[in-house]
Structure 1
Amino acid sequence: MVPEEARLHIVVVGAGLSGIAAAISAALSGHSVDVVEQAKELAEVGAGLQITPNASRLLKYWKLPDSLWESAAEPTKVTVHRYSGEILAHESSFDKNIRAKYNASFVDLHRVDLQKALFARAKDLGVTFHLNEKVENLDFEKVTVSTATGNHYTGDLIIAADGLWSRCREAFMGHKDEPIPTGDLAYRIVLKADQISDPDLKSLVENPEVHFWAGPGAHAVAYSIRGGQMFNIVLLVPDNLPPGVSRQAGSVDEMRELFVGWDPILIRFLTYVDSVDKWKLMHHGEMENWVNDASNLVFIGDSCHPMLPYLAQGANSSLEDGAVLGLLLGHMTNKAQLPRILRLYESLRKSRGEAIVRETFKQRHDFHMPNGEEQEKRDQIFLSQLGTEIKGAFPSRWTCPEVQPWLYGYDAIKEVETAVARNKELFFTKPQRRNCCQIL
């Protein structure tokens, strides 16, 4: 816990995963935290999330309730299929292998279960939430966030955690900065096990695994959540939403038509879908800086490095950001250290966040290849190592021995410990005080 003279009043803009993670981590470090969120309530909406070891270890560290882990599904197998169904890659005992390598688990959760657990933990730590507060202005001289209701929230530091359409980002840059379409959209589907009558499909739901289907210009991923009571399916396909529309009700018939000729198992799952929404997938270019010149605004999560779902790292990286920032702030001994601590946070997180973004686009390329020579070479790489220990670059990053270690093996807690040890002059030097009796 920081000493009283180093205690900050922090205003977090946004109560998504990154915002609540930062609030928890900062509160554990002894700071006072207010979270400003435009939603009227933290509604029970959303779909599945894949929480990889780099983030699951943080959830344990934050002592989230047992109910969260009871709601998780830990996949025992990971399989990559060619779109028509043939197996390209398969890892059995995936759960045991992951735990052995990273001393943390790979779990699939419903976003609502994670958000509720984080929200409850934050409130237990004394974090105050202000809902139905749409941010309109930021005053960096007064370090104040003003909302449409006329309320003002002032502190020592503003944490921008307001996502892809960040108002903080616009205020920082001084102009509109709208996201860029990627050319893809997502159909997000959640099925309940008890609505599936097909015994083979129901068995797949109740015995958690992860399945990918890689096809021309599109791919699909499916996995169990809620301990095998639900099945989450995400279909990534070419974007046909009108310009300016980010979400729209979709046609089930249109969706099914896109997957004619794909694996019969996937098609059978889609017969149980009775409604679906289409989500435009968008991104931003890299930001030059994540901290403003006054060192009272710092960016985290999708507000500074939005991630597409091709590697399932958006949530995980956001949790990492919040953890690292809060842990660094926990080593403060005086407020004068804040500018350098924020720059240290930026140096630790910016390169990793942007590297994950780049790797995400590479995964999209490898899973969306049109039929042809490049796709045949990809499949040969897959098939040549089927049933053997994978070596070298691999088209599925979930089991790639070159990517998985730095992605899943990252430990935010150790990262901060190492950074603090390397920057002793920042954290362990007391501020100079003038002796009142000193002869000038």
Structure 2
Amino acid sequence: MGSSRAATTHRQSHVRLDIIIVGAGLGGLAAAISISQSGHNVIVYEAAKELAEVGAGLQLTPNCTKILQQCGLSDAFWASGAEPTSLSIHRYTGSILAHDEAFSCTTRKRYDAPFLDMHRCDLQQALYERAKALGVEFRFGSRITDMEFERARPMVSTEQGSCCVADLVVAADGLWSRCRSRFLDRDDPPKPTGDLAYRVVLDLEQIQDPELRRWVSEPTCHFWIGPGAHAVGYSLRGGRMYNIVLLVPDDLPSGVSRQPGSVEEMKALFKGWDPILARFLDLVDNVDKWKLMHRKSSVEWRSLEVPNMLLGDEMTSWVNDHSNLVFTGDACHPMLPYLAQGANSAIEDGTVLGLLLGRIESRDHVPHALKTYENLRKARGESIVRETFKQVCFQVHSS
């Protein structure tokens, strides 16, 4: 891939802080790497007992891969991606609406970084291995049950009965963030958006059709825009796997965020779409349905009243009054998948936070560093969130 660069040397802080990160997702791991490179002690608390082989594909855009190039990730990580040579946007019936034949070349020339399609677990594992190599401590199977931020040095307690005190807690615990609920002093469960995703991953060995095999083994990226639905298809793992995401109106029961789906029902929703997509879907044996959730209030996503959609539940601050709790990623700005920026933006957050913490010269500088982080990241993250809502309208009313 030509993207495995040496890690950039972070500026080392003159004071060594003890920092707890809650959550070993992509944003938490990126924060762990960057903060550790800036000279601080990092412990990551993760509720899961291990990093599981779960998830599907991710699209890593140059704003993220440019960061990853500087993290010192292994050559094996870069080899696990797929770099699409071209990008096509189709009308749902298959006709081409837009096409960039030189997509990979254009992207690298413009940004000096690639656009990569990657399996989520490959990225997570690579970040985890890099964080461990930097000396980050991980405590798996440690679900946070209580937090105290009213003192200068905050304390977290786990379900297993252990406690830990630090100088700073980084909340990277995702959409269902317990840290956010504690910060807001109320339960703050995510809300349904009105959409759900079918996620499909196919191995090349499952595919006999020569044309479909070429689509997988010669990586390209395809989007299909239709009435009330949207589909994305791209290769993973160097062209040995194909990822398809189908976004449709939500019909899951209230309170259910994921359940097995009917393959026949899924295929029926895309009847009359591009025959290539139909042939891929004919290979699917089983599929899950994932409710798309968000922090915003329930609205009619299929309305064109975009200003109403942009009114929301954005957090007033990402830093608490004592400057010992700071939020990153989905814990403060969860994103719908329509711009493929959720993971990319979370990795940006964690990296910027670490770089700023490398510039502090005393503990008294921490509040300024966190406020600078918020000033740099909050407007950007929330503007991307708002743009994803506009994409919902575009998707539904294009045909």
Structure-1-length-normalised TM-score: 0.83
Q: Offset at 1:370?
A: 5.5
Partner of 2:73 in structure 1?
64
Partner of 1:419 in structure 2?
none
Give the letter aligned to residue 329 of structure 2: G
Q: Offset at 1:282?
A: 0.8
**1:17-32 equivalences in 2 (<5 Å):** 17-32=26-41
Check whether the contact 2:25–2:172 (CA below 8 A) recurs between aligned residues.
yes
CA RMSD of aligned residues (A): 0.9
Take 1:266 and 1:329, find their aligned partners in 2: how far apart are those partners? 47
Partner of 1:344 in structure 2?
372
Counterpart of 1:61 in 2: which secondary structure? Answer: coil
Check whether the contact 1:49–1:108 (CA below 8 A) recurs between aligned residues.
yes
Take 1:49 and 1:16, find their aligned partners in 2: how far apart are those partners? 13
Counterpart of 2:255 in 1: which secondary structure? Answer: coil
**1:93-104 equivalences in 2 (<5 Å):** 93-104=102-113
Matched, 1:332 2:360: yes
**1:16-415 equivalences in 2 (<5 Å):** 16-140=25-149, 141=151, 142-284=153-295, 285-369=313-397, 371=399
Q: Aligned pair count? A: 370
Partner of 1:397 in structure 2?
none
Check whether the contact 1:80–1:213 (CA below 8 A) recurs between aligned residues.
yes
Q: Offset at 1:369?
A: 1.4
Partner of 2:299 in structure 1?
none
Take 2:219 and 2:245, find their aligned partners in 1: how far apart are those partners? 16
Check whether the contact 1:144–1:155 (CA below 8 A) recurs between aligned residues.
yes
Q: Offset at 1:2?
A: 3.3
User: Which string of whole-angstrom CA distances, capped at 9 and with x for unpartnered residues, describes residues 228-283 of structure 1?
Assistant: 00000000000000011111111111111100111110000001100111000011
Counterpart of 2:248 in 1: which secondary structure? Answer: strand
Check whether the contact 2:13–2:358 (CA below 8 A) recurs between aligned residues.
no
Give the letter aligned to residue 109 of structure 1: M
User: Structure 2 vs 1, CA of residues 255 and 3 (structure 1 numbering), >3 Å: closer, same or farther?
Assistant: closer
Give the letter aligned to residue 19 of structure 1: G
Give the letter aligned to residue 161 of structure 1: A
Runs of 4+ residues over 2 Å off in structure 1: 1-4
Check whether the contact 2:12–2:37 (CA below 8 A) recurs between aligned residues.
no
Give the letter aligned to residue 7 of structure 1: R
Partner of 1:383 in structure 2?
none
User: Which string of whole-angstrom CA distances, capped at 9 and with x for unpartnered residues, describes residues 150-189 of structure 1?
Assistant: 0112100000000000000000000001111110000111
Check whether the contact 1:98–1:104 (CA below 8 A) recurs between aligned residues.
yes
Take 1:59 and 1:200, find their aligned partners in 2: how far apart are those partners? 33
Check whether the contact 2:27–2:350 (CA below 8 A) recurs between aligned residues.
yes
Check whether the contact 2:225–2:231 (CA below 8 A) recurs between aligned residues.
yes
Counterpart of 1:80 in 2: which secondary structure? Answer: strand
Partner of 1:14 in structure 2?
23
User: Structure 2 vs 1, CA of residues 104 and 117 (structure 1 numbering), >3 Å: closer, same or farther?
Assistant: same
Take 1:110 and 1:172, find their aligned partners in 2: how far apart are those partners? 33
Q: Offset at 1:106?
A: 0.4
Give the letter aligned to residue 316 of structure 1: N
Identity of aligned residues (%): 60
Give the letter aligned to residue 327 of structure 1: L
Counterpart of 2:235 in 1: which secondary structure? Answer: strand
Give the letter aligned to residue 50 of structure 1: Q
Counterpart of 2:69 in 1: which secondary structure? Answer: helix
Counterpart of 1:368 in 2: which secondary structure? Answer: helix
Give the letter aligned to residue 20 of structure 1: L
Give the letter aligned to residue 310 of structure 1: Y
Check whether the contact 2:13–2:357 (CA below 8 A) recurs between aligned residues.
no
Partner of 1:377 in structure 2?
none
Partner of 1:381 in structure 2?
none
Check whether the contact 1:2–1:333 (CA below 8 A) recurs between aligned residues.
no
Check whether the contact 2:13–2:38 (CA below 8 A) recurs between aligned residues.
no
Structure-2-length-normalised TM-score: 0.92
Take 1:270 and 1:366, find their aligned partners in 2: how far apart are those partners? 24
Counterpart of 1:203 in 2: which secondary structure? Answer: helix
Q: Offset at 1:63?
A: 1.0
User: Which string of whole-angstrom CA distances, capped at 9 and with x for unpartnered residues, describes residues 95-140 of structure 1?
Assistant: 0000111111100111011000000000000000000011111110
Give the letter aligned to residue 338 of structure 2: Y
Give the letter aligned to residue 358 of structure 2: G
Partner of 2:301 in structure 1?
none
Q: Offset at 1:3?
A: 4.8
Take 1:189 and 1:154, find their aligned partners in 2: how far apart are those partners? 42
